[in-house]
């Protein structure tokens, strides 16, 4: 039975069996390489219903196409995991059309979806291409224009998708620490007993709303609600497509950041000054002097950067305290050698690089915080 879902993988024979006509087309719905992607579509999207596909991700493949990854699906799923997708407009209607990754020539089938896209929501309906005599992109577009209101135009009803947000926690306190975003009855994010100078992994969520933030050292029993100097609780919004960082500072207070997530499938890195003093420079590169792939200067206490995409490769981690001479830079050493450690940065991974102070000595830490899901 045809599921109501954003299903890029309804293969031709199954579609013919279920609806008596092909659901795909050999022709692209638009001229490839001419319509820029809509960046609002980038990110991870989830549907809350029990469909064959529950979670998908759109990544920028190039300025005109998406790399689409099917992330979560059930045992009834029969298709590919990766697709290349494009968008186009026909009149006032927007469409997404996608082909399996690696398909070419006579093997190409494009699956077409009428979509409505906002900042955090996406609705989709798969289009039924019933005319088997179509022989060009122009004829296909004309068919879509003429048949939009016909009874058999759509293969499915409307499916609603919500864009994921990401949340993680960094403990800069000298003891294990607990944080919770949201109320006990409906927490959006909870992390307990996180050791000092460590991080959680990214949590993906579609609970996009404002929440109160609670925190405490793990040794304490009572949670503390995060408030301003006037004793008014802070409201912490969770935004689709953004990365949210909760920091436990060395003094036991907390901070909350909403960070941009750079486009593409390259490794992503955020840099954090986890000390109470300014840092002159933090950088990632082959050496201190050459080939920096990420650099930030004049970073204040507990400030952090957005997530920046960098080329895959092996790089060293460097930093320079405020007021130090440039020749007095520090680096993350290879254990037992005293030389710069070359750290591998892999495609599709998220990393946090931070400096922290312990016993008045500065240390560097790098964590892969990529979500396991």
pLDDT digits (tens, 9 = 90+) for 224-248: 999 998 999 999 999 999 999 999 9
Question: Are 151 and 184 within one domain?
Answer: no
Question: Are 99 and 192 within one domain?
Answer: no
- For 218, residues 6+ apart whose C-beta sits below 8 A from its C-beta are 175, 176, 177, 178, 192, 193, 194
Residue ending a domain, among 114, 136, 162, is: 162
pLDDT digits (tens, 9 = 90+) for 162-208: 999 999 999 999 999 999 999 999 999 999 999 999 999 999 999 99
Give the CATH number for residue 169.
2.60.40
Angular region, 91: left φ>0, alpha ψ -120 to 50, beta rest: left
- For 142, residues 6+ apart whose C-beta sits below 8 A from its C-beta are none
Q: Is residue 283 part of a domain?
A: yes
Question: Taking Cα atoms as reference points, which of 210, 212, 193 lies closest to residue 254?
Answer: 212
Rg of the chain over Cα atoms, rounded to whole angstroms, equals: 24
Q: How far apart are CA 262 and CA 258, in angstroms?
A: 13
Q: How far apart are CA 254 and CA 215, in angstroms?
A: 8
User: Which pLDDT score is estimated for 11?
Assistant: 34
Question: Are 100 and 59 within one domain?
Answer: yes
The range of the structural domain enclosing residue 171 comes to 165-259
Confidence of residue 33 (pLDDT cuts 50, 70, 90): very high
Question: Taking Cα atoms as reference points, which of 120, 115, 137, 305 lies closest to residue 209?
Answer: 120
Give the CATH number for residue 85.
2.40.128
Question: What average pLDDT does range 245-263 have in this prediction?
Answer: 96
Pick 373 or 122 by higher pLDDT: 122
The percentage of the chain sitting over the pLDDT mark of 90, rounded to a whole number, equals 72
Question: Are 124 and 173 within one domain?
Answer: no
Residue ending a domain, among 244, 259, 274, is: 259
Question: Are 63 and 155 within one domain?
Answer: yes
Question: Are 352 and 287 within one domain?
Answer: yes
Question: Are 46 and 155 within one domain?
Answer: yes
Question: Taking Cα atoms as reference points, which of 232, 262, 273, 260 lies closest to residue 355?
Answer: 273
The number of domains in the chain is: 3
Eight-state DSSP code of residue 235: P
Question: Are 371 and 283 within one domain?
Answer: yes
Question: Are 82 and 201 within one domain?
Answer: no
Q: Is residue 1 part of a domain?
A: no
pLDDT digits (tens, 9 = 90+) for 74-88: 877 777 889 999 999
Confidence of residue 64 (pLDDT cuts 50, 70, 90): very high
Q: How far apart are CA 72 and CA 192, in angstroms?
A: 27
| Concatenated DSSP letters of 157-178 | --EEEEE-EEEEEEE-SSS-EE
Quote the tokens at residue 366.
């790098």
Q: Provide the greatest CA pair distance for the chain.
A: 76
């Amino acid at each position: 039975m045809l599921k109501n879902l954003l299903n890029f993988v309804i293969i031709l024979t199954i579609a013919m069996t279920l609806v008596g006509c092909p659901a795909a087309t050999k022709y692209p719905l638009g001229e490839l390489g001419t319509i820029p992607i809509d960046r609002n579509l980038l990110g991870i999207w989830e549907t809350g219903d029990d469909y064959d596909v529950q979670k998908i991700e759109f990544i920028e493949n190039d300025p005109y196409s998406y790399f689409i990854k099917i992330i979560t699906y059930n045992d009834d799923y029969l298709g590919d995991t990766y697709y290349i997708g494009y968008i186009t407009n026909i009149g006032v209607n927007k469409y997404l059309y996608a082909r399996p990754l690696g398909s070419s020539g006579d093997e190409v089938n494009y699956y077409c979806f009428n979509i409505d896209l906002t900042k955090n929501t996406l609705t989709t309906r798969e289009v039924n291409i019933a005319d088997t005599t179509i022989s060009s992109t122009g004829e296909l577009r004309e068919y879509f224009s003429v048949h939009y209101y016909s009874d058999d135009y759509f293969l499915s009803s409307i499916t609603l998708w919500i864009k994921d947000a990401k949340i993680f926690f960094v403990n800069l306190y000298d003891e294990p620490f607990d944080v919770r975003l949201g109320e006990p009855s409906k927490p959006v994010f909870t992390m307990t007993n996180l050791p000092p100078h460590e991080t959680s992994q990214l949590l993906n969520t579609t609970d996009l709303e404002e929440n109160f933030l609670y925190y405490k050292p793990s040794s304490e029993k009572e949670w503390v609600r995060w408030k301003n100097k006037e004793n008014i609780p802070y409201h912490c919004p969770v935004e689709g497509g953004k990365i949210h960082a909760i920091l436990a500072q060395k003094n036991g207070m907390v901070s909350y950041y909403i960070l941009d997530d750079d486009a593409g499938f390259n490794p992503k890195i955020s840099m954090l000054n986890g000390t109470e003093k300014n840092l002159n420079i933090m950088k990632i590169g082959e050496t201190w002097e050459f080939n920096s792939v990420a650099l930030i200067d004049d970073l204040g206490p507990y400030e952090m950067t957005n997530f920046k995409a960098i080329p895959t490769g092996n790089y060293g981690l460097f930093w320079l305290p405020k007021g130090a001479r440039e020749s007095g830079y520090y680096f993350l050493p290879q254990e037992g050698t005293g030389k710069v450690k070359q750290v591998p940065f892999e495609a599709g991974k998220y990393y946090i690089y931070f400096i922290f102070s312990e016993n008045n000595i500065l240390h560097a830490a790098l964590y892969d915080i990529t979500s396991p899901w």
